[in-house]
Amino acid sequence: MHDTAHIYSDAPDRDTMGGRLSRARDAAGLSVSELARRLGVKSTTIQAWESDRSQPRANRLAMLAGVLNVSLSWLLHGVGTSPADESRSELVNAVSANLKRIRRLQEETNRLVAQIESDLLRASEGH
Residues 76 and 90 occupy one common structural domain: no
Provide the pLDDT confidence category of residue 27 given band limits of 50, 70 and 90: confident
- In whole numbers, what is the pLDDT of the chain averaged over residues? 84
CATH number of the domain bearing residue 51: 1.10.260.40
Within 8 A by CB and 6+ apart from 89, the residues are none
- Asked if residue 54 has pLDDT above 60, the reply is yes
Average pLDDT estimate for 11-20? 83
Residues 21 and 53 occupy one common structural domain: yes
Residues 51 and 113 occupy one common structural domain: no
CA dihedral 16, 17, 20, 26 (to 10 degrees): -120
Residues 93 and 120 occupy one common structural domain: yes
Residues 17 and 66 occupy one common structural domain: yes
Domain containing 67 equals 3-81
51 with 18: CB under 8 angstroms? yes
Residues 122 and 65 occupy one common structural domain: no
Give the residue with greater pLDDT, 13 vs 1.
13
**Cα 70 from Cα 68, distance rounded (Å):** 6
Domain count, the chain: 2
How many helices (H) and strands (E) are present in the chain, helices listed first?
Answer: 7, 0
Within 8 A by CB and 6+ apart from 52, the residues are 16, 17, 18, 19
Write down the pLDDT at residue 13: 73
